[in-house]
Amino acid sequence: MHIIEQASIKDLTTLRIGGRADKLFFPSTPEELISLLVELQDRGIKWSMLGGGSNLLVSSQGVGGAVISTSEMDWVNRVSPDAVVVGAGARLPKLAGQLAHMGLSGCEFMEGIPGSIGGAVVMNAGAHGHWTSNILEKVTLIDTHKGQVLSLTASQFDFGYRSSNIDPNRHVIVEAKFRLSDGMPDQIMDKMKQYRRQRTVSQPKGFSSGCIFRNPSMASPAGRLIDEMGFKGDKLGGAEISNIHANFILNSQGATSDQIIHLISRIQLKAWNTKNIWLQPEVYGMGNFTDEEKVIWLHPGIRDKELVNMSKYQLFGQVS
C-alpha cells in the first residue's frame, strides 16, 4: 500500500486548504483497508477518511494521526444487466460517464459533483432533484466500533436531505451497489451535458467546497438568505463569499481554515440574530480545530448554554 509521511492534505481537497497529516494511506483493496483500520485501532491511532475532499474543511493546523484516502479504491463492476458495484473511491463524474457508455441511466445527476462514492453516500449527495439514495441498493461498510464488515440495504440508512446516519468517525464505506435502468448512451450524455451547462451559469469557478451551508428549507435556500443579509463579495484574508452564488465561499488567495470559519461564523450569527435561522454547515471538518472553531458545527441553542463541553454534544457533520 502506498503511504506518504507528513503529507500535505490541501491539494487533495477542492478548497485547497489544510495542513499536514502524520501519515496518508492509500489502500487499494477492501482487505488492505480492513487490516489498516485494525492496525490503527489496535495502536490507538486516530484516523480520518478522505474521499474526493470536496465537502471538507481541513484545518490549516494539520490533522493529527492518519488520513486514509480512498482514491485507489475506484473499481466499477457490472454485477447484473442493471446493477453495478462501485468502490468507495470512484469519482462521481467519471462514474456517470462510464455508466453512460454502458447504457446505464440513473447517475447523470452526479455530473459536476466532484466527490467520491463514499462521500456521496455519507451525505446523500444530490442534484437536479435526484439523490444518491434513490439508486442505492446496498452498502458494504466497516463498523469500526463493532469490528465488523456489514452489508446493509439502503433502507437501513436514515437518508435525508444531505444527510444519513453514517458516522464517518465510526463507519467506513468500502463499496456500494447501485440499481440503474437501461438508457441510450447518447441521451444519457445529453442529459449530463445539460446538467453541466446549468452548473456553469449558476456556480462560481475557483477553489471551494461547493455549498457551505445546507438549505434551511427548500423554500428559503441558504444562498438567497446570505445574499439578503448583504454578505455577497465579503472577504477575509484569502477567503471570499462568492458574488455569483452566496452559498459558496471561495479560497481566492491562499485562505486558511480559520478565515473560512470566521466567515461561516459571521453569517451564522447574523442569520440567527436577525432571522432566527440556524445555518447548518454542509461542509465537514477534519483536523485540529479549537473548541471555539468547532462551534460552527453546533446548534446555537446548545452553543449558548453556559460553557460548552464539546465532547458531550453531537457535532453536526464535524469529524475530528
Specify the 3-state DSSP secondary structure of 47: strand
Q: Which three cell numbers stand for residue 12?
A: 487533495
CB of 276 to ligand FAD, least distance (A): 26
| Residue 232 Cα distances to 3, 207, 243, 277, 296, angstroms | 41, 17, 5, 18, 19
The smaller minimum CB distance to ligand FAD, of residues 28 and 275, is found at 28
CB of 116 to ligand FAD, least distance (A): 3
| Residue 62 Cα distances to 11, 15, 99, 252, 280, angstroms | 13, 15, 37, 20, 23
The smaller minimum CB distance to ligand FAD, of residues 64 and 305, is found at 64
The smaller minimum CB distance to ligand FAD, of residues 55 and 280, is found at 55
3-state helix, strand, coil in the chain (%, to 5): 30, 30, 40
DSSP letter (8 states) at residue 262: H
CB of 84 to ligand FAD, least distance (A): 17
CB of 227 to ligand FAD, least distance (A): 18
Q: Which three cell numbers stand for residue 220?
A: 428559503
The smaller minimum CB distance to ligand FAD, of residues 213 and 284, is found at 284
The smaller minimum CB distance to ligand FAD, of residues 22 and 82, is found at 22
The size of the chain, in residues, is 320
Tell me which residue has its CB nearest to ligand FAD: 119
The whole-angstrom separation of Cα 107 and Cα 180 is: 8
Q: Which three cell numbers stand for residue 86?
A: 462501485
CB of 309 to ligand FAD, least distance (A): 22
Q: Where does this chain bind ligand FAD (CB under 6 A)?
A: 14, 48-56, 70, 88, 113-116, 118-120, 122-123, 125-127, 162, 168, 171-173, 203, 208-210, 284, 319
The whole-angstrom separation of Cα 120 and Cα 112 is: 13
CB of 7 to ligand FAD, least distance (A): 15
Q: Which three cell numbers stand for residue 170?
A: 465510526
The smaller minimum CB distance to ligand FAD, of residues 103 and 152, is found at 152
